[in-house]
């Protein structure tokens, strides 16, 4: 069962259970996935990796909204976004902690010959850690290690 099929079956389950919040989030996610498929081309079907990218993008939007709402003094809106984020993160692989990511970055850097170009280093690191660590955190760690 692909990730897209899993999301569709969970939409059906949420409809049967009357879980309005979950249904809303899953429908939004399904819509984002369909939009990505349309961008890709007529009758395109997304791979699980592409679907994960869509989920990660939607998750990042929620994180940014939470930050904006908290800075704007709207904790009730931030709470709603946190609930949506939790539902979205259930479909993403477990994210690495800062310590785990730091160790992984150090390991990848030790295997690289050219460490002078931060862009190339980031490309290599993100290829290895794709989907398992936040890009912003990885960027900070790389700059810290290259120092």
Residue pLDDT, tens place only, 45-71: 888 889 998 998 999 999 999 999 999
79 and 36 share one domain: yes
Q: What is the pLDDT of residue 106?
A: 84
Residue 33 has a pLDDT of: 93
CATH number at residue 118: 1.10.10
Residue 97 is given by DSSP the state P
- pLDDT for res 124: 82
d(CA 37, CA 54): 10
Residue 18 vs residue 143, higher pLDDT: 18
How many CB atoms are closer than 10 A to CB 51? Answer: 22
Pair 23, 46 in one domain: yes
| 125 vs 13, residue with greater confidence | 13
CATH number at residue 82: 1.10.1510.10
Domain identity same for 68 and 16: yes
The H or E element spanning position 129 is helix 118-129
> 112 with 45, same domain?
no
User: Are 85 and 105 members of one domain?
Assistant: no
| Enclosing domain of residue 113 | 98-146
Considering the domain architecture, whether residues 81 and 102 belong to the same structural domain is answered as no
Same domain for 44 and 22: yes
pTM beyond 0.85: no
């Amino acid at each position: 069962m692909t990730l897209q099929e899993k999301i569709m079956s969970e939409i059906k389950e949420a409809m049967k259970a009357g879980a309005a919040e979950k249904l809303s989030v899953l429908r939004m996610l399904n819509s984002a996935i369909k939009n990505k498929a349309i961008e890709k081309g007529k009758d395109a079907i997304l791979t699980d990796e592409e679907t994960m990218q869509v989920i990660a993008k939607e998750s990042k939007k929620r994180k940014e909204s939470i930050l904006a709402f908290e800075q704007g003094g709207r904790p009730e809106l931030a709470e709603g976004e946190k609930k949506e984020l939790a539902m979205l993160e259930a479909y993403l692989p477990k994210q690495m902690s800062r310590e785990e990511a730091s160790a992984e970055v150090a390991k990848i850097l030790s295997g690289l010959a050219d460490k002078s170009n931060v862009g190339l280093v980031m490309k290599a690191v993100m290829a290895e850690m794709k989907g398992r660590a936040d890009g912003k955190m990885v960027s900070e760690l790389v700059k810290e290690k290259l120092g």
